[in-house]
Structure 1
Amino acid sequence: MHPYSWSLHAEAVVLVPLLALGYAFVLRRYSAPGWRIACFLGGLGLILAVFVTPLESLALHYLLTAHLLQNVALAEWSPALVVLGVPPAAAAASRKYAAVRALTHPLVALPLWLASYYAWHIPAAYDTALRHPSTLLHLEHLCYFVTGLLVWWPVLTGRLDAGASAAYLFGAFALASPLGLLLALIPNAVYDFYEHAPRVWGWSPLTDQQVAGLTMAAEEAVVFFGAFAFYFIRFMRRDESALDLRHARWTR
């Protein structure tokens, strides 16, 4: 396949329509402001962007870097936008289901997401999935997306307050970021599939892996540490406001 060819894969032709239909059903029962709808559509657009454009061809046949970009889009970016698109009333209504409460509990959601992230990046699992693009690779991508929804749910639906959200996101950042750094620092290419893939852009397999690892580490810092900083600042401001209120009462 040409490295810059466009394609249609299950993530684009199955997942996106199913999510769109599900969201349309939710909107019939629960209203959502325009910005939430835009976030949800942005999440779907991101899935299309990484599985229809030439990034898919590069990921499937040539570059680890391209594949890791797909992975972080599915595991972090798109799920965050999709969860932001959920109407608050719908999120609250979902809590009546025991399975939803259990799977979105912070002490369950984060370990599931980390387990999926690390397990699928084990070289044997990664190479096997790439050699079975019609089955195992779809399963890998589905695991990323579903656990991504779970990991963002406690924060973006208001289950956690600002302080707990900051602690949770810092934990996610601290536990996930070593994977990218590890890939960047290992002195040899660890994925057999990409070691024997056709070369593009003049990158060696090791260069590709180093760029992929650094990209992943930088992305983790921007997304999770950035989100941590946002909630930490909110927590500190709320704490300061509470102290100011107490001080005002004491000085009356």
Structure 2
Amino acid sequence: MSPEDWNQIYCGPAPAPAEIWLRWNLDPILLLALGILAFSVGRSRSGALGVAALALAFVSPLCALSASLFSARVVHHVLLVAVAAPLIASAWPAREPRPAAAPFLISTAVLWAWHLPSAYDLALSWVPAYWIMQLSLIVTAIVFWRTILQPRQNGGYALLMILGGYMQMAFLGALLTFAPASLYAIHAVAPFDWGFSPLNDQQLGGLIMWVPAGLPYLAWGAMVARRGWRAMDGRLA
């Protein structure tokens, strides 16, 4: 890739609705990286599902759609931090229970920082910044979830941190939903092709962060609670 190729959207130009299902991303470097990750963590079912979630985010037409719509980019980020990251983390948990406050604060700061308009527009218009965004989101999320999903982690503490993870995302989503104007120049035109104004698209993205994004957090919380109940039953037995 030449330096000229860096100054563009990684997933390609914003697609028209008629061509979206033709826009698969078959970047050989990306496919190689996913293959290496699959070899590393894909022997467990959760690890394989985590790699599949990453493939959905980066290989499927969702990648191209996120060049058009902020709401699609939100789905992309939710897949990274609330689906792929905990799946991979559960296949590769921390060796010992550790405090999760620092990973929580770091992952939260990274998520919020990349949704600042200047940082977001830079990431979607310059390929190196795009990959810094993606890698920082997924790595900090994996570190957070590895701590939370450690098998001997205190169940109540883990549930509290999962709730905190959802609440910070929901709060960011609420701010985006009620913002009086669209914030992202990179999405100033393309949403019209999909029947949205830029502000409507941003509001939809905020609502996705605010409500549907809570579903994977709810699922992981239920898993942690179930594991705690089983451990308690074992001790009582």
> TM-score if structure 1 supplies the norm length?
0.76
2:39 aligned partner, one-letter code? L
Q: In the alignment, does 2:112 pair up with 1:118?
A: yes
> TM-score if structure 2 supplies the norm length?
0.80
- 1:165-219 deviations in Å (ceiling 9; x for gaps): 1122122222231011111111211111101336322111111111111111113
SS in 2 for 1:77: helix
Q: What is aligned with 2:57?
A: 50
Q: In the alignment, does 2:190 pair up with 1:172?
A: no
Aligned residues with identical type, % of pairs: 27
Contact 1:10 1:138 in 2 (8 A): no
Moved >6 Å (runs of 4+): 236-242
More helix by share: 1
Q: What is aligned with 1:106?
A: 100
In 2, the alpha carbon distance for the partners of 1:105 and 1:11 equals 35
Q: What is aligned with 1:142?
A: 135
Q: In the alignment, does 2:82 pair up with 1:64?
A: no
1:84 aligned partner, one-letter code? S
1:208 aligned partner, one-letter code? D
SS in 1 for 2:26: coil
Aligned length: 219
2:83 aligned partner, one-letter code? W
Q: 1:20 aligns with which of 18, 38, 49?
A: 38
Q: What is aligned with 1:129?
A: 123
Contact 1:11 1:47 in 2 (8 A): no
Q: 2:185 aligns with which of 187, 192, 196?
A: 192
Larger Rg: 1
CA RMSD of aligned residues (A): 2.7
SS in 1 for 2:168: helix
Unaligned runs of 5+ in 2: 1-12
1:189 aligned partner, one-letter code? S
SS in 1 for 2:24: coil
